[in-house]
A and B are shown apart, each in its own frame.
Chain A
């Protein structure tokens, strides 16, 4: 069974503060992804990575950084959190390729005040 875990599961942050969301996978997958989900929207890709120590920009990277220190771990960093970054964040892992099935973590609910 694929396993993607995220921490924290929920967080309240202040505007201008730094937030780090963590993701860990035990699937031995090369690809990892960060998405955000907003009410009325599907998931939108923020950053992804296909190898340790390398990250790629997704469709909405502005205001976010990512870090992939190892194959298993992928972090999303909000250096200066803003109100507009209140959302649910999902991490996923996969083997890559167009037919790849992505396996999602449980999500992190972030509220920026």
Chain B
């Protein structure tokens, strides 16, 4: 079945710097890709949903890159600020089903 590998597990950046998180997946039939943010003690909140034919998606303060050839999904938080400190999870769903497979998560800390 689908396997998702997320790196790095921990990331510490200075305020204003970029934070880059990557997920690789194995199933070439994967179709939708998700990034979730989990603040300490809280539940998961959707950051962005990416459709397989779209390569670059920009949100507020972040960019999501999808490379289908390499089966790689990336999240780039530009100009990180302390409010970005949280755990980030990628998740992948296949075209055939409704199950989500999650990456292991990245704990991001943004310091002053």
List A residues at the B interface (Cβ < 8 Å): 31, 40-45, 48, 50, 58-59, 90, 94, 96-102, 104-107
Contacts and interface: CB of A to CB of B under 8 A. Distances in A.
Contacts, number: 60
A58 B6 CA distance: 21
15 contacts: A40-B9, A40-B104, A42-B6, A42-B102, A42-B103, A48-B98, A48-B99, A59-B99, A90-B44, A96-B98, A98-B31, A98-B32, A98-B96, A99-B49, A101-B34
B66 interface: no
Nearest to A45: B99
B43 A58 contact: no
A102 B46 CA distance: 8
Given A42-B4, A42-B103, A99 B43 contact: no
A40 B5 CA distance: 12
A99 B92 CA distance: 10
Given A40-B9, A106-B42, A101 B49 contact: yes
A40 B94 CA distance: 24
B97 A104 contact: no
Nearest to B51: A99
Interface string B41-54: 01111100101000
